[in-house]
Amino acid sequence: MTPKAPAWLLLVTNLPGRNPTLRMRLWRGLKASGAGSLRDGAYLLPNSARARQLFEEQRAEIRAAGGFVHILAFDADSAEQTATFVALFDRTAEYVDAIRSVDALKAELATLGEAEARQRLASAGRDVALIAARDFFPGEPRKQMESALADAQAAIDARFAPDEPHAAHRLIRPRNRQDYRSRTWATRERLWIDRVASAWLIRRCIDPQAKFLWLKRGKDCPKRAVGFDFDGAEFTHVGSKVTFEVLLASFGLEQDAGLARLGALVHHLDVGGIPIAEAAGFATIMAGARALQENDDSLLKAMTPVLDNLYAGYAASKT
């Protein structure tokens, strides 16, 4: 049986002489990693492969400068000590500040244009993702933050995209891609995240010869067209899944790791949930493209290489 790894990693260092540049670089790296400070020169992280890598990088730099450094793996000697260590990583105050920022956005929403509102929400999402990356012991504050972001997303969508679909409650049945070749697909006009990603997915993985109709209202969908992402459409939100995820499940694409990660990104941006680090950047690109493009055909064309590149990056990444 493989012995259980110690719970904590400790970096102990004594930097050589007066080297403010090295000290600042070390401090910034440790702060970005989320390390807790036991005292000057003693930094703590929950034990993990990522924590070990971060500390090893710091050790290499300190040794190259002639400094003293050790990395120690250990377990706390009591429940009280464990609680003391865990308290070093409490991100409650950071979440409170982030929630206040999101609440301010909601209060000002009536006076904002869509681009500014979505950019501010994207910025808040980016800040939260940075906090979450350093939140090793997530609890109620993180849940409250995710709820605040989801509420803000819903408020923005209610103002600027009032026809967002409601989740249907039904089974997602498998579909044969051969039955959906060279079809006309229809969704609501003024594409946003789920719709543009779904259209990209349809053309890339389901129906390469797909033609698209952009509808003013979902009920205007022709009977011959395959509707997606509106109430009553053949493919729309089901349970907790957004339309992109429903398409993945319907056509047996969920095992593709790159598409699954893209689905998590679309899910977060469409209905909230677990923060995704690159989500804010993608939303900003999407908002910019929507402002620049004169119609949905050109918008899909502009976003296709963005989605191609993002998918390629996800598919190549192991994390």
Q: Where exactly are the structural domains of the chain?
A: 8-87, 92-160, 177-316
Alpha carbon distance 215, 212 (integer Å): 10
Confidence category of residue 40, pLDDT binned at 50, 70, 90: confident
For 8-87, the fitting CATH number among 3.30.70.100, 3.30.70.930, 1.10.10.1100, 3.90.1150.10 is: 3.30.70.930
Alpha carbon distance 12, 71 (integer Å): 6
Confidence category of residue 319, pLDDT binned at 50, 70, 90: low
Average pLDDT for 168-184: 92
What is the dihedral sign for C-alpha 203, 207, 213, 215? negative
Picking from 136-140, 249-253, 267-271, which range would have the lowest pLDDT averaged per residue? 267-271
**What confidence tens digit (pLDDT) does each residue in 56-88 have?**
999 998 898 888 899 999 999 999 999 999 999
The amino acid present at 156, given as its one-letter code, is I
CA 296 to chain centre: 25
Picking from 107-111, 127-131, 213-217, which range would have the lowest pLDDT averaged per residue? 127-131
Which pLDDT score, from 0 to 100, does residue 168 have?
A: 79
Which pLDDT score, from 0 to 100, does residue 123 have?
A: 85
Average pLDDT for 36-51: 93
Alpha carbon distance 43, 12 (integer Å): 7
Treating both helix axes as pointing N-terminal to C-terminal, what angle do 279-292 and 114-133 enclose, rounded to 10 degrees?
170
